[in-house]
Amino acid sequence: MKKTLAILSMLLIAVGCDDSAEIARLRGQVEDLQKQATEPTAEQPNEPTAEQPTERPQPAPVPSDLPVIELPSIIKTPDMTFNKIPAGTFLMGSPETEKDRKDREHQHKVTISKAFYMQTTEVTQGQWKAVMGTEPWKRKYNIKEGANYPAVYVNWSDAVAYCKKLSEKEGKTYRLPTEAEWEYTCRAGTQTTWSSGNDEKVLGDYAWHGNANNVGEQLLPYAYQVGLKKPNAFGLYDMHGNVYEWCHDYYGEDYYKQSPEKDPTGPTSGPHRVLRGGSVSIRVRLTRSAYRLRYIAALRQDNIGFRLVRELD
């Protein structure tokens, strides 16, 4: 219990001060655990055993309303689908007119000079277990277990270790996307607030997020199975919401104002790594295509996962 409270307290410190919804959610977890600690029990375990949330209906996948671009795909062991993303140039960040934008989203031109493969979904628990043989999310807080749920409670180094082991197994190069690659694939040719446009109500067809009009309740406690919402124009699912996704880059508050135009890879060092996409328990404004979150690389959480890039041969 003390260990869990300490970790949650660290999370409150790690999240950006402007991310009030996330802070409120974490603070609520701390308060709940503190209440548990004061209630008399026959036996006090070292760690709380989280009950599995009640099963909720899982909707069937639905096709996109967007004109999905027909991209070459590959399917690799263990049952991962990757779409080939073409090279291109786009505007990274957000215009000053965008609602809820942050200064750290300075808009600038970026060129992705080489095509690459992007995983169409977040890495699932089944895909993680097939490679690593472990279950880091087991009996953790706010988790629904199952092969098609996102692999969570993995920190940045865990995600990199997964990439390394899969690369060694298949003789190909798998890695985390750079922040620029992530936003490029998320936008899929758009310059709107989300890849689905500027309408928050339309976004509900493409993303699991914490606003009540999305799933009928606020701040849901755990992620949905991957690939159930509509894909973006590149055929990628859950780029907005469901779970945050680790990127390769160190986080730099003002990096956008000095980053190279061609294939930026982030600062060379720093105390934080980049998370993108928002989550099922996060307000809709934090799922915008341009939204950036700094996070301590060593920390693990119930709403943080990742997806892979596979480099071309």
φ and ψ of 192, to 5 deg: -85, 175
Same domain assignment for residues 82 and 144:
yes
Number of other CB atoms surrounding residue 84 within 10 Å: 15
% helix, strand, coil for the chain, step of 5: 25, 15, 55
CATH of the domain at 269: 3.90.1580.10
The reported pTM is: 0.80
pLDDT tens readout for residues 282-300: 899 999 999 999 999 999 9
In which domain, by residue range, is 6 found? 1-49
The backbone torsions φ and ψ at residue 152, rounded to the nearest 5 degrees and listed phi first, read -125, -175
Domain assignment present for residue 54? The answer is: no
Say if 176 falls within a structural domain: yes
Structural domains of the chain, count: 2
Residues 132 and 43 in one domain: no
- Asked whether residue 26 is domain-assigned, the answer is yes
Question: Strands 309-310 and 174-175: what pairing?
Answer: antiparallel
Mean pLDDT lowest for which of 54-58, 84-88, 172-176? 54-58
Are residue 178 and residue 253 in the same domain, yes or no? yes
At 196-236, the pLDDT tens digits run 999 999 999 999 998 754 555 555 678 999 999 999 999 99
Q: Would you call 290 helix, strand, or coil by DSSP?
A: coil
Grade residue 170 by pLDDT with cuts at 50, 70 and 90: very high
Residue 89 counted as domain residue: yes
Nearest residue to 20 (alpha-carbon basis) of 29, 9, 12: 12
